Structure 1
Amino acid sequence: MSGMRQIFKKEMDRIFKDKKMVFSVFFLPVLMMVVLLSIINGLASNMEKDIESHKSEIYVMNEPASFRDVLEVSKMKCQLKTVASEKEMKGAKKEILEGEADLIVEFPEGFEEDIAKYQEGDPVPQVKTYENPSEEYSQQASRNMTAALETYRQMLLSQRVEDMSSLTIFQVNSDNDEMYIQDERKAGGKAIGTMLPYFITILLFAGAMGIGTDMVAGEKERGTMASLLVSPIKRKDIALGKVLALMLISGVSSLIYVAAMVIGAPLMMSKMGGLGDLDIQLSVQQILMLGTLLVAIAFLYSTMIALISVFARSVKEANTYVMPAYMLVLVTGLLTMFTSGETSQKMFFIPIYNTALVLQGILGQEVTMMQFGVTLIETLAIGAVLMGVIVKAFDSEKVMSA
C-alpha cells in the first residue's frame, strides 16, 4: 500500500505542480465548451436577425389591387415585382432556383371578379406559391406570405359572409391558459439531459486520454518506466497508483464539466432554442447518484486508457490505439441525443451506452434504482476486470519491455 501511495503522490504532484497541466486538464475544456456554445449561440442569433431583417424579393402574377393593401397592413418586408407573361414566370422560377429571388405568388386571372361573382358549385380559385426550401430567405418569405394570404382570405370572406362567427364550428385553446401540463423540474432536466451525456463522456474521456497515455506509454518512451519497475515498489502497486491517480483527476474534471454545463447550458439553450427559462434543480439523491456514476465512469475510462497504453511503446502509438475507443464513446454520447420513447431495459446492460442513458435519466428524473444499480455495478465490474489485466500486464516483462 505504501508503494501505491508513493506512485499516486508522484502522479498527482506531476499534474498539480504544473500550472499549464492544471489549466489544460480542468479549465481549458470548460473554456472551450463555453466558447463553443457562445459561438453557436451568437451565430444562431445573427442568422435569425439577418433572416428577419431581410427584405424579401417576391414576384407576383395577376396581383389583385386589394392584395397590396393587405401586405401594407401586415408590414411584411418585401419588394414586389410583377410577372406579366409565361416567359417572365420561367425567369422568375430560375431566380428562385438560384436563390436570387425568394418567392413567387401566382393569382388566377380575373381573381377578384371570380370572388365577387362566386356562386355555390363554382370552382374555388387557387392561389399558387413557389419557393426554394433549401434557402432560408425563401422559407421565411413563404411563412410570412402564408400569414398574409390567410389575412387576405379572411378579409374577402368577411365581404361575402356578414356573420363570420357562423362559420366557426369550434375553436382550439383560444382561452385555455392551462394547456401545458408538465413538471418544470423534469422538463428542464430532460432538456439539458439531451446534450449533457454527450459532452461529459467526450470531455471526460478526452481529458483522461491526454494524461493516461503519458502516465504509462510516456514513461516507457522516456525510459523512466524501466527504472521504476526495478525499484522496491511492487508492480501491482505501480499499476494501481497510476490508475487511481488518473481516476481521481478524471473524476474531478468531470464534476467541473457537469457544474459548468448545469450552470451555463440552460442559458445557452434558452437563447438558442426558444425553450424559455430552464429550471435545473437537482435533489440530494440526484446529486449523489450523479457523483457516484461519474466516479464509476472515470474508473472505467481510466482503466481502458491505461490498459491500451500498457501495450504501446510511445505516446503517439498509444493515442493511435486509443482513438477507436474514443470514437466508440463519441458515438455512444450521440446516440443518447436522438432517443425517444421508453428505453428498453436491455439497453441498460450495454457497457458505456448504459452510463450515458443513466446520466440522461438522472437529470430527467426518469431513471429507476434498478437501472442505476445495474449500470453502476456493471461499470465498476468491467473496470475491475480491466484493472486486473493491467496488473497482469505490468508483471509481464515482454509487455513492459516492448
Structure 2
Amino acid sequence: MPKKNLFAHVYRKEMLEILRDKRTFLLVVFLPMLLFVGLVLFYENMLTSPNEEVTVAVNKTADSALLDELHRQNKDLIFQKVRDPKATASAGDSDIAMLVDPNALTEMTNGGSASFVIYSDSSDKNAAAAVATLSAQLSAVDKAFVTARLTKADVPAKTLDSMNVQIKPLSDDSAETDASRLMLTIVLPMLLCLGVTIGAYPVVSELFAGEKDKKIIDALLVTPVKRGTLLFGKWSVAITVSLFTAFVSLTATLLIIFFATTHLRKALDAMSSPLALFAVGMLAVASFATLIVSIQTIAAIFAKSMKEANSYQSPIMMLAVIPSFVTMFISMSQTTTAMFFIPLANISFLLREMIYDQFVWTHLLATMASNLILAAIFLYAAKRIYSNNNYLLAK
C-alpha cells in the first residue's frame, strides 16, 4: 500500500474510533462550549452596573433632617430607620448600614463635626457600589458646609481648590467601550487556548497512552506501517478534533457575546470587522493547536497509562492558559514585533490587536511562524521518542 494511503488509513481508523466514543466526543466538544458560555456570562456580569437604587439601614436616632437632605440631593438613596442597622444589612434587607449622630446636621451647621460609620459586605459588588454612592453624596454635603464656613469667614471657597485635574482616555471610545474591549482581550484568548487544550488532551491520551492500557501496542508495532506514519496519523486526528473544538468554541463565544450580552458586545460593535476577528483568530489558533498538540503528544508517549497521561496534561493546560493574561501587564504602546515570536503568549497579543482595530499582517505571520516552527521541533522529538521501544513498551 502506498505511503499516502497508509497515512489515510491510519487517520480514518483513528478518527472513526474517536467518533464512536460518544463520551470522549461530548467531553472534547460540548463540555468546553458550555464552560465558555458560562465564563462569558460571568465576565458580562462583572461589567454590569449594580442597582442604581441604594438602600441604607440607619439607626433610629439618626438625624432625620440630614437624611432628608441626602435623599433630596440623590433620589436613589433610600434610608430605612431600624433598631439594628448592621443586622439588617447582614440579613440582606438593605445594601449597607450606617450609624449617624442624632444631631448631625445641627453640629455641622454650628461649626462642629458629625460622626458617620458605614458598614458593608466587601464581597458584594452592589454593596461596594452603594458605599461609593453614599460616600460621594456625604462628600458633597461636607464640601457644601465647608464652603459656607469659608464664606462666613470671608475666605474665598476656591482657596481649597488649587488644582483642576481631568483624566481622559487616549482613544475616542467611551469608558464603557474601553472596559469591554479590555475584558474581551482577557476572555477571548483564554477561552480559545483553553478550548484547544481541552479538546486535544483526551484524544491524545487515548491515541497514545490508551494503546498501552488496552495492551494493543505490541500488535500495532509489528504492522508494516512505519512509526512515523502512525505517529503523524494519530497527531493529525488530535489536531482535527482540537481545531473542531476551537471552531465550535469560538463560534459559540462570539454568538453568545453578540446576542446574549450588552457590555461585551460593545467591544464587537466598536470593531470595523468582527468577522475578521473570527478568521484571524482561527488562523492563529490553528498554529497554536499544532504546537500544544505536539507537546501533549510527547507527554502521552512518555506516559505508561491513561491515568498517568492525564496527570501530565494538567500542567500543560495551565501552560497554555497562563500566557493569555500577559496582555494585562503590557500595554498596546509597549508591544513590539518581537513579542509576537513568543510562543503561547503571541496569540493574546494578536487577538488584542484585532479587538482594538490595530491589526498588522506581519504580526500574524510572526505568530504562525514561531508556533509552527516550534511545533515541528516538538513533533520531530515525538517521532524520535515514538521510535524508541523503551518508551512504548515500558511497564
Check whether TM > 0.5: yes
Residue 102 of structure 1 is matched in structure 2 by 97
Residue range with higher mean Cα deviation, 389-398 or 375-384:
389-398
Paired residues of 2:267 and 2:355 also in contact (CA < 8 A): no
Residue 386 of structure 1 is matched in structure 2 by 378
1:8 pairs with one of 11, 21, 25: 11
The amino acid that maps onto 1:129 is: F
Q: Deviations over 1:237-265 (max 9, x none)?
A: 10111111111111121111111112213
The whole-number CA distance in structure 1 between the counterparts of 2:288 and 2:128 is 44
Give the deviation of 1:195 after TM superposition.
0.9
Residue 111 of structure 1 is matched in structure 2 by 107
SS class of match (2:198): helix
Paired residues of 1:105 and 1:129 also in contact (CA < 8 A): yes
Residue 312 of structure 1 is matched in structure 2 by 303
TM (norm. structure 1) is 0.75
The whole-number CA distance in structure 1 between the counterparts of 2:97 and 2:174 is 42
**2:362 corresponds to 1:370:** yes
The whole-number CA distance in structure 2 between the counterparts of 1:274 and 1:295 is 25
The amino acid that maps onto 1:11 is: E
The whole-number CA distance in structure 1 between the counterparts of 2:60 and 2:268 is 42
Larger Rg: 1
Change (3 A) 1:110 1:48: closer
The whole-number CA distance in structure 2 between the counterparts of 1:376 and 1:294 is 9
Paired residues of 2:257 and 2:265 also in contact (CA < 8 A): no
Residue 31 of structure 2 is matched in structure 1 by 28
Residue range with higher mean Cα deviation, 6-15 or 355-364:
355-364
Residue 57 of structure 2 is matched in structure 1 by 57
Percent of aligned pairs with the same residue?
19
Count how many residue pairs are aligned between Structure 1 and Structure 2. Answer: 370
Paired residues of 2:40 and 2:256 also in contact (CA < 8 A): no
Return 5+ residue gaps in structure 1 as ranges: 83-90, 116-124, 174-178
Residue range with higher mean Cα deviation, 231-240 or 362-371:
362-371
Residue 326 of structure 2 is matched in structure 1 by 335
After superposition, the CA RMSD in angstroms is 4.2
Paired residues of 1:348 and 1:371 also in contact (CA < 8 A): yes
1:242 pairs with one of 231, 234, 257: 234
After TM superposition, list the pairs within 5 Å mapping 1:2-401 onto structure 2: 2-38=5-41, 48=50, 55-59=55-59, 63=63, 66-73=65-72, 74-75=74-75, 76-80=77-81, 102-106=97-101, 110-111=106-107, 113-114=109-110, 125-132=112-119, 134-135=121-122, 136=124, 139-149=128-138, 152=141, 181-182=172-173, 191-266=183-258, 270=262, 278-279=269-270, 282=273, 286-341=277-332, 342-401=334-393
The whole-number CA distance in structure 1 between the counterparts of 2:210 and 2:360 is 42
Residue 176 of structure 1 is matched in structure 2 by none
The whole-number CA distance in structure 1 between the counterparts of 2:35 and 2:212 is 31
Q: Deviations over 1:76-127 (max 9, x none)?
A: 2222469xxxxxxxx99xx59x968722345768536526xxxxxxxxx544
The whole-number CA distance in structure 1 between the counterparts of 2:303 and 2:206 is 11
Paired residues of 1:297 and 1:379 also in contact (CA < 8 A): yes
SS class of match (2:323): helix
Paired residues of 2:301 and 2:391 also in contact (CA < 8 A): yes
Paired residues of 1:203 and 1:254 also in contact (CA < 8 A): yes
Paired residues of 1:192 and 1:266 also in contact (CA < 8 A): no
Give the deviation of 1:17 after TM superposition.
3.8
Residue 85 of structure 1 is matched in structure 2 by none
Paired residues of 2:294 and 2:375 also in contact (CA < 8 A): yes
Change (3 A) 1:289 1:145: closer
Change (3 A) 1:378 1:171: closer
The whole-number CA distance in structure 2 between the counterparts of 1:154 and 1:392 is 75
Paired residues of 2:43 and 2:183 also in contact (CA < 8 A): no
Give the deviation of 1:356 after TM superposition.
2.7
SS class of match (1:194): helix
Change (3 A) 1:190 1:382: same
Paired residues of 1:270 and 1:276 also in contact (CA < 8 A): no
The whole-number CA distance in structure 1 between the counterparts of 2:259 and 2:369 is 35
The whole-number CA distance in structure 1 between the counterparts of 2:344 and 2:46 is 33
Give the deviation of 1:180 after TM superposition.
7.5
